[in-house]
Amino acid sequence: MDENVILTMRGITKSFPGVLALDNASLKLRKGEIHALMGENGAGKSTLIKVLTGIYPFEGGEIEMEGVEGQAINHSVQEAQERGIATVYQEVNLCPNLSVAENLFIGREPRTKCNTIDWKKMNSSAREIMKNLDIPVDVTMNLENYSVAIQQMVAIARAVDMECRILILDEPTSSLDDNEVEKLFRLMRDLKNKGVAILFVTHFLEQVYAVCDRITVLRNGQFAGEYTVAEMPRVKLVAAMLGKDLDDLASIKAEGSDTVRKDVVVDAKGLSHKGTIKPFDFVIHKGEVVGLTGLLGSGRSEMARCIYGADRAQTGTLTMNGKELKAKAPIDSINAGMGYLPDDRKADGLIGDLSVKENIYLALQARKGMFHPLSPSEQNALADKFIELLQIKTASRETPVNQLSGGNQQKVILARWLATDPELLILDEPTRGIDIGTKTEIQKLILKLAAEGKSVIFISSEIEEMLRTCSRLCVMRDGSKVGELDHDLTQNTVMTAIAGQGKEGEQ
Ligand SMILES: Nc1ncnc2c1ncn2[C@@H]1O[C@H](COP(=O)(O)OP(=O)(O)OP(=O)(O)O)[C@@H](O)[C@H]1O
Ligand SMILES: [Mg+2]
């Protein structure tokens, strides 16, 4: 027996109508380890976590903490908390209209002698916590004023501050930039040294190799193996997740700068949006995939929003196929032949109560107008096509989209924009939260669209992914476009360009 074991989940079974989400799954956590929980989209990772934290009841199996037989902790969320399990869920569940401090202390507010909330104490403790984590926020401001990344850090800070024995992080890093990820990792290592067991869900292999000690792989709701990171080569890990070998990643490659650029699709001159992006020029040709790169907050998303018209440009002009486009609302851009997958899916994205099918045909229907409704059979055919193409794991096309796993929801929204068959597709982090197998498929799909003559503007925090798909990169820094790269595209040249030449000399 391994005496460091702090938690054992054995033979866990959990089903939803039409789906067996967990099928005899198991997991073992030890004190002072960082344990990766891996598997494809829909493999059951989040469900296993919600069973552990008492959110979902389960049908079979047992959970033990510290080897105390029969001490199942399946009774309630409160019980899990009392036993020292703190969780950051995949979907950030904080209150945007409360302050940062309130979000940190919700449900456990410091009290005065008269049992009212001790605001002074709460704010000063909150300031202390955020300072220790090196997160620059005003704790009295409402959370909604901050980026998704900061909100995520607040959720993490809250969990960390709860003096837990087990900390669960379900894809906390998907919206963080490298710098923030590094902060988080430092924090995780500190906690590990204090004996906390950390369960970490991520789709980024590098992160697993950077911080984790062990890995448990789930496949189709079943336990597929437990490995130590040191003894698990990447290819083997991928094979364990997919249940087969992955196509050679190297086989995907952008054509490079030798593609002939002739037909200009979009030509933007001097576009800008006050407070977010300074005037920039941008051209994209038919069949081109152009990446917008830069650190989070560099203006890469803002540039995309400006081209699409989600943020109305205050200066400059934009022509599409030679005609000036004065987009007043996104629908004008859609009608002109653009499609835009935004970065902030919560604000502009999925409608949870609608079915997978409805979410997929929504944008196409908007483009056609309400007097040309798609027939039910067209709707079904469209949904089926994309469920197949993007391997969306869903019980049926009629399933409400909020019943899908995080990564599969992401695929649905990508499908929505692909379905409009746009001439110019703008994709801001299209593969966030998507498992490694499907990620490769999406990259291939982007290249295929380009080969068919579509143009794609692509944004990703993963430089490697951009290098594989883009033939040209626009480099952004501090709200300005600072240059373009169209040859010698390597990790190194791109990183140097993003960081800015003078940077090292200045320090
Ligand atoms: N509330 C729910 N109602 C119905 N089905 C659900 C619900 N939550 C999850 N499922 C289904 O259970 C399966 C496992 O989903 P889960 O969210 O655990 O996957 P995951 O491994 O976390 O995937 P991802 O990497 O995409 O986040 C999926 O098929 C999903 O559709
Ligand atoms: Mg999940």
- The CATH number for 69's domain is 3.40.50.300
Mean pLDDT across 287-316: 89
Lowest-pLDDT choice from 49-63, 91-105, 241-255, 330-344: 241-255
Using the predicted structure, report yes or no on whether residue 251 has a pLDDT greater than 50.
yes
Using the predicted structure, report yes or no on whether residue 250 has a pLDDT greater than 50.
no
Q: For ligand 1, what atom is nearest to the CA of residue 43?
A: 21
In a domain, 257, yes or no: no
CA–centroid distance, residue 445 to ligand 2 (Å) = 23
Neighbours of 183 (CB within 10 A): 16
When the pLDDT of each residue in the chain is averaged and rounded to a whole number, the result is 86
In a domain, 230, yes or no: yes
- Do 331 and 379 sit in the same domain of this protein? no
Tokens of 379: 């709707």
Using the predicted structure, report yes or no on whether residue 442 has a pLDDT greater than 50.
yes
Coil, strand, or helix at residue 21? strand
Mean pLDDT across 445-459: 92
- Do 317 and 369 sit in the same domain of this protein? no
- Residue 326: the pLDDT is 82
CA–centroid distance, residue 377 to ligand 2 (Å) = 31
In a domain, 70, yes or no: yes
Query: CA–CA separation, 507 vs 382, rounded Å?
Result: 55
CA–centroid distance, residue 100 to ligand 2 (Å) = 25
Mean pLDDT across 275-303: 90
Mean pLDDT across 122-127: 94
Using the predicted structure, report yes or no on whether residue 257 has a pLDDT greater than 50.
no
Q: Which of 46, 392, 412 to mutate to test the pocket of ligand 1 (most atoms within 8 A of CB)?
A: 46
Contact status, residue 52 vs residue 63, Cβ threshold 8 Å: yes
Q: Judge residue 20's burial from the number of C-beta atoms within 10 Å of its C-beta, 0-12 exposed, 13-18 middle, 19 or more buried.
A: middle
- Do 399 and 427 sit in the same domain of this protein? no
Tell me which residue has tokens 């979902």: 56
Count of domains in the chain? 3
Using the predicted structure, report yes or no on whether residue 490 has a pLDDT greater than 90.
no
Q: For ligand 1, what atom is nearest to the CA of residue 171?
A: 27
Mean pLDDT across 473-495: 87
Q: Map 199-239 to HEC letters.
A: EEECCCHHHHHHHCCEEEEEECCEEEEEEEHHHCCHHHHHH
Q: How many CA atoms lie within 13 A of 274 on its CB side?
A: 1
Contact status, residue 31 vs residue 190, Cβ threshold 8 Å: no
- Do 405 and 469 sit in the same domain of this protein? no
- Residue 77: the pLDDT is 75
- Do 318 and 389 sit in the same domain of this protein? no
Tokens of 151: 């909100």
More confident residue, 468 or 284: 284
In a domain, 441, yes or no: no
Using the predicted structure, report yes or no on whether residue 281 has a pLDDT greater than 80.
yes
Q: Judge residue 148's burial from the number of C-beta atoms within 10 Å of its C-beta, 0-12 exposed, 13-18 middle, 19 or more buried.
A: middle
Buried b (16+ CB within 10 A) or exposed e, 290-326: bbbbbbbebbbbbbbbbbbbbbebeebebebeeeebe
**Domain membership of residue 106 as a residue range:** 5-247
More confident residue, 326 or 455: 455
Task: Give the ligand at the shortest distance from the Cα of 433.
Answer: 1
